[in-house]
Structure 1
Amino acid sequence: MKALIITAVAFGAFAGAAQAGVSNLDYLQAARCRGLAASENLGKLDTTALDAFLRDEGSARELAVRTSASNKMQAALKEANAADGEKKAKLLAQRDGACATYIAGGK
């Protein structure tokens, strides 16, 4: 019985650590990446995995963080759709570089 309780406590701690693995900053960055990935001007990408990541991670976030994420997503989409020249190249580099893991559904 004692071993069962220790195992249950250890599993609960592990599950909590796994959920805590994605910071609010990471969540907000993923939201920005979602906006860039959805841009027609940059070449729209499949956002299925990123949408699932944001949905799963967002369920445990405070309202202020979810609101900020939504705002970042819309701002990035607007910025990307209006970009041209050097700005467009910079946003493409960000989307294809720093955002690649999020777009693929990773953390």
Structure 2
Amino acid sequence: MKSTAVLLAALSLAVAGQASVAAASDHLTDVDWLKANRCRGLAAGFGVNDASSLDTLIKAEGRNRQEIVYAKGQEEQTRGKRDAAKTDGKDRYEAELNGYCTAFLGGKSTASAR
């Protein structure tokens, strides 16, 4: 159990570093844009009050996406919101929200925003 938590924390930090690099570049890749959409769904599902920076990012970056990628982004938001509502695995989804999603949320701690 403890080794799983350590592994999850290490994975979250690694992914957060990748998201930070992607957010610092001029434009997000399709994969990073899809991750941002999942983060938006998780944020909505967990009741994060201030996700305006994420909304702005998704809207600005979504303008030039192919239709299939845009549709997948909508699916990721829906899936993230649905996952946040689940009772089993809630810790994992909160770790995801507090992990790499903070890069898309402007570096704010999402735990205090709930």
Q: TM-score, normalised by structure 2?
A: 0.67
Partner of 2:32: 26
Partner of 2:60: 56
What runs of 5+ residues in structure 2 fail to find an aligned partner? Answer: 1-24, 108-114
SS at match of 2:28: coil
What runs of 5+ residues in structure 1 fail to find an aligned partner? Answer: 1-16
Match of 1:47 among 48, 51, 74: 51
Structure 1 Cα separation of the partners of residues 106 and 49 of structure 2: 10
RMSD: 1.7
Deviations 1:39-98 (A, max 9, x none): 1xx3433111100000000001111111000001001101111234xx111110110011
Displaced runs of 4 or more, over 4 A: none
Deviations 1:1-54 (A, max 9, x none): xxxxxxxxxxxxxxxx83xx4100000000000000111xx3433111100000
Q: TM-score, normalised by structure 1?
A: 0.71
Instruction: Decide which structure has the larger Cα Rg and report it.
Output: 1
Q: 2:71 corresponds to which letter in structure 1? A: T
Between Structure 1 and Structure 2, how many residues are aligned? 83
Match of 2:86 among 79, 82, 86: 82
Partner of 2:103: 101
